[in-house]
A and B are shown apart, each in its own frame.
Chain A
Amino acid sequence: MKSSNGKGRKASRQFQADLLLKLEMRSNPEALCLVRATLERTAENLHFHSAERRAIVRSVDEALANVMRHAYEGKSDLPIVVTFRRLYGQNQPKSCAGIEILLEDQGVAVDPAKLKGRALEDIRPGGLGLHFMRQSMDEVEFSRKDGKNQLRMVKYLAIPKTASGSEGE
């Protein structure tokens, strides 16, 4: 099963990726604030501006909350692995094009029918997390592999506009 929601701005496959950080955590909601703080600092180091950092943090937090609530049905001692990778263009190993985040859990398989989210016009509690992720990230892709749910998200770094038109690093 694979469900993609790429916005088609860029194809991340054209980039190479360096491992930045790998977190092994339990499905305890008390750990969410630690992940948010770590990710905020990571995104800052990659030169994402503040609105982008909030978008990245919000998406990963919502994704982890979904794993805890739905895949693990509220059990707080089950494993989740979060991997952060820096994306960079070919022949530009020192530059950063974006961040790729991969979440893996061993919970119940995600139901593709539930990946549509709900219409925002339908005012009721719940169903907003997926919407936040899709609004905030450039690529959101769910898959199931080797008995694990995988969620891959990508956020590209906006290219700064300078007077000379150069990208800078």
Chain B
Amino acid sequence: MQIAARESQGGTILDLSGDIDLAHSPAMRKALLGEIREKRTPKVFLNLKNVRYIDSSGIASLVEGLKASREIGSRLILYSLSNTVREVMQLSRLQKIFEIYENEEQALSS
């Protein structure tokens, strides 16, 4: 899994790629919570277009990030979910608790 960060629209975009599984979800969790809790970034965008696989530990990290963002009044925004990620979101019935957009343009203008 790879994580790249870039600044945009008053927030930070984290471009994630590869597999988010038990081996790699700790790195994503660290990057995500670093943006939210330490940098207190007002908007954190997660670009999931190139995520091939996500397991329950990855989903748990996203939920933890969402809770952290709500605690400090910031926003966690997901976009460009691959079919695999969308399927797992649906299985866990979490798609309605996250802010999810079809693409980067929609996410940034939200």
- Chain A interface (Cβ < 8 Å from any Cβ of B): 29-30, 32-33, 36, 51, 54, 57-58, 61-62, 65, 68-69, 120, 123-129, 131-132, 135-136
Contact = CB atoms under 8 A, between A and B. Distances in A.
A33 B21 contact: yes
Given A30-B23, A36-B53, A58 B61 contact: no
Interface in B83-105: 84, 87-88, 91-94, 97
Given A32-B21, A123-B63, A131 B55 contact: no
A65 B63 contact: no
Interface in B34-84: 53, 55-57, 59-61, 63-64, 67, 84
B41 to A, nearest CB: 20
Interface residues of B, number: 22
B22 A29 contact: yes
Given A36-B21, A128-B59, A135-B91, 15 more contacts: A29-B22, A30-B23, A33-B21, A33-B23, A61-B53, A61-B55, A68-B22, A123-B63, A125-B64, A128-B56, A131-B92, A132-B88, A132-B91, A132-B92, A136-B91
Majority secondary structure, A binding face: helix
Given A54-B87, A120-B92, A128 B21 contact: no
B19 interface: yes
Q: Which 5 A-B pairs have the closest CB atoms?
A: A125-B60, A29-B23, A128-B56, A29-B22, A129-B56
Contacts of B94: 123
A129 B23 CA distance: 15
Contacts of B60: 125-126, 128
Contacts of A69: 22
Contacts of B21: 29, 32-33, 36, 61, 65
A67 B68 CA distance: 28
A32 B63 contact: no
A132 B64 CA distance: 19
B64 A120 contact: no
A39 to B, nearest CB: 12
Nearest to A51: B87
B23 A120 contact: no
